[in-house]
Structure 1
Amino acid sequence: MAVVYHRHAYGDRDRRDMDANDPSNDPSDDDGTNSDTSEDVVEVAPNEIPGYFQERGGRLFHSHGGCPYPLPVDAEEQQRLNGLSALVRRLIGDSSVGPVRDLLALAPGEQRRVVDLGTGTGQWVLDMAREFPHVRIYGVDIVPIATRYPPPNVTFEMHDIMTPLRYAAGSIDMVHARSITMAVSAFPRMFGRPLNSGMQVRDYRALIQEASRMLRRGGLFVSCEWARSPAMEDGSDVRVRAPRACAFFDAVRETLRVRRGLECVAAHIPQLLVESRRFISVETKAFHVPVGDWPNEPDRKELGRDLRELMVLYARSVFPLLSEGPSARYAGALVEDYIREIRSVSGMVATCYTVHARRV
């Protein structure tokens, strides 16, 4: 069952003051009261929210034992997530890739709906809500770190995105999934590596099937994921130019595989969408983003400087994960050596993959 941890922060007077012509303010369209949902939701009281978190090693984590997401959810990590959301918007030049504006255009008598999987702080949802005030947007995550005071066309819910969601079949216009591959994997045997005994399968292909169930025909699936490996812009050997960055990401990938059963699926999402036979018009793009202020162009220099500082925050956030894996004894050195290298090596890039596809 989905859990809404805060309903719209409006009293009766505020609701009367809403624009009655705005379909997002139609009280008959509230969550759990119409055909876009398959079951009721339960609201969590504010005093219950602290129970969804636990502190470990001076960082705050989710307390949901069944979720493999390994990073903290505290203020420092939320700063990184919000910064990364803003950076991706600058990178792609819009709130999302694909024909989003045409898809979500205001249509008399029709209510457009969007689901954001793994919404995190909910920054993407809030940006979309401002751009599309007539669209109802649902942000779904396993921990309540998004604002408790969303705008009236937004609902934030707690739910494990690897279990069936409450939305009725064919009721959603767009499903958005960004930066979720540290909690969802391609099925590991796809890469010739079996699961450890007793490890839960969190298969991206199952997520694609659930997205296709929710989406109406012609609906849009959008993905945005970062590769977990560095590269050099000029194509030179990154293991020679940036060995410490490679060692850091090798350790991250191995720890995720061994401890969480996760393989990085970012580059394989187009293939999985095609293999599902549920999507057509699959389009992908790889953005190579500078890490550091080494580019000469002012815009790329600023982008690279910002990404480098976000990658420093990422390295700090991933330290607890490394401390529980095969590289535990030298996790601190891996992190510090990586941070020093990205601040000194020119020409390093990170790769961001975007994908969008239409529901058959």
Structure 2
Amino acid sequence: MTVEPIELSPISDMFDPMDNPNISSLALDPATDLFLHRFPAFPPAAYAPAIWATSPVADEEETAFDVDDIDDNSSDTVDPIEDHEFPTYFQQIGSPPRLFHSHGSYVLPVDSDETKRQEAQHILLRMIIGSNYDAPVRELLNSNPGGRKVVDLCTGAGHWVLDMAREFPHVKFRGLDLVPIQTRYPPENVRFEIADVTERLCFADASVDVVHARMACLGEEAVPGFLREVARILRPGGLFLSAEWDAHPALHPRHPWAGGFEDYIPQSITFYDIASNAVPTLAPSIYTLITRNGSFEEPVSTRRVIPISTPHATGSNGLRFVGEVMERISQGYADALVAGRNVPLGIAENFKAELSLRNGVVSVYQTVFARKTVVSPD
């Protein structure tokens, strides 16, 4: 089925629904109802993740990308993690215990519950947008069959990469993350590696066609260096795709409390004030930082309002269902932050209770893409 996107018009300046409640109306074809069939909030994983191992490495001469595309000085091939190495990568926290990364800045659990929550979010976003990308990716990847390469930074369990690999079987994909929670049996055109994306990336200059980063959880101070690396590895004309949630929820623009959201959803504001310190978002700054980088053409930004609970002003069962699923996803997010001791239990429970009582609460989802500048020969 064709899914009509719920979207705001692309804008060129930074936009904060917290300061400007006059968000444009939802651009949804009234004849089209999203989600004509229901899907579980937490569906079974399409690829059961192997949290104790990364994907197996083939023979040394075989890599996901051509050998001459790899920077040998920074490339670090990853062998499967043995049982005795488990404590090096993972630790259990809380009661009941949940699995977390043993070191680094990743604060969310890395267990099956969190993987399913993230997959539900991935499926929902794909259905709302109507695609796995909000940019001219198809045209680029199909323009040179057999020779295109894509890198997914902060890949998590690899849901985006695995979906893309099925859509573009002729393209080579690589997913990078600090935490080895991806399937150990990916498709032939996919490889996962452990990597810190704030350091030098293991790809040669101008060797990659698309770089994707969704919910990268990077502090703003790390972004300029991160973008320099993205620009370095992208070929001229290549695409960088960013996708982030705003740091705070808002109210639907037609909500009667839209101008006084702090009084209507105080528990949600308190929760996200704390959560955004643990899980930072690039939404407020990524457009400006891409522009300042100087290696890209003007970015294109699209912002969508997505209900977190049952929407206030809609006759659409589809939108109502989106709100119901997003509420479950948000509740799972709160539980994950409590398990990692990043948010007090009482604040998280108050937030979840408020979501179930308040209509019209929305999140703003921002996608930005920018093309690396093509330098004309003198």
Superposition TM-score tier, normalisation by shorter sequence? 0.7 to 0.9
Q: Which moved more, 1:143-152 or 1:40-49?
A: 40-49
Aligned to 1:122: 158
- The answer to whether the 8 A contact 1:162-1:206 is kept is yes
Matches within 5 A, 1:282-321: 282-294=299-311, 295-321=314-340
Give the Å deviation of 1:44. Answer: 1.7
Figure out how many residues of one structure are paired with residues of the other and give that number: 309
Percent identical pairs in the alignment equals: 33
- The answer to whether the 8 A contact 1:292-1:346 is kept is yes
**Alignment counterpart, residue 38 of structure 1, candidates 71, 75, 97:** 71
Q: Distance in 2 between matches of 1:171 and 1:33?
A: 9
Aligned to 1:103: 140
Higher helix share: 1
Q: What is the letter of the counterpart of residue 120 of structure 1?
A: G
Give the Å deviation of 1:320. Answer: 3.8
**Shift in CA distance, 115/356, structure 1 to aligned 2, threshold 3 Å:** same
Q: What is the letter of the counterpart of residue 341 of structure 1?
A: E
Q: Does residue 185 in structure 1 map to residue 219 in structure 2?
A: yes
Aligned to 1:274: 291
Q: Distance in 2 between matches of 1:162 and 1:43?
A: 18
- Structure 1: which 5+ residue stretches go unaligned? 12-26, 188-202, 257-261
Q: Does residue 55 in structure 1 map to residue 72 in structure 2?
A: no
Q: What is the letter of the counterpart of residue 220 of structure 2?
A: A
Q: TM-score, normalised by structure 1?
A: 0.81
Moved over 4 A (4+): none
Q: Does residue 68 in structure 1 map to residue 117 in structure 2?
A: no
Equivalent position SS for 1:236 = helix
Aligned to 2:193: 157
Quick one: higher RCO (CA 8 Å, sep 6+), 1 or 2?
A: 2
Aligned to 1:147: 183
Q: Does residue 6 in structure 1 map to residue 55 in structure 2?
A: yes
Q: What is the letter of the counterpart of residue 244 of structure 1?
A: Q
Q: Distance in 1 between matches of 2:350 and 2:116?
A: 23
- The answer to whether the 8 A contact 1:53-1:62 is kept is yes
**Shift in CA distance, 32/283, structure 1 to aligned 2, threshold 3 Å:** closer
Superposed CA RMSD in Å reads: 2.1
Q: Distance in 1 between matches of 2:66 and 2:241?
A: 27
What per-residue deviation string (whole Å, max 9, x for no partner) do you get for residues 173-198 of structure 1? 000000112xx1112xxxxxxxxxxx
**Shift in CA distance, 251/45, structure 1 to aligned 2, threshold 3 Å:** closer
- The answer to whether the 8 A contact 2:310-2:360 is kept is no
Give the Å deviation of 1:298. Answer: 1.9
Aligned to 1:347: 360
Aligned to 1:198: none
- The answer to whether the 8 A contact 1:230-1:238 is kept is no
What per-residue deviation string (whole Å, max 9, x for no partner) do you get for residues 230-257 of structure 1? 101133321111111111112223x43x
- The answer to whether the 8 A contact 1:32-1:41 is kept is no
Q: What is the letter of the counterpart of residue 266 of structure 2?
A: P
What per-residue deviation string (whole Å, max 9, x for no partner) do you get for residues 278-328 of structure 1? 11131001111011233421221111111110000000011145x35xxx6
Q: Distance in 1 between matches of 2:364 and 2:213?
A: 17
Q: Distance in 2 between matches of 1:75 and 1:230?
A: 26
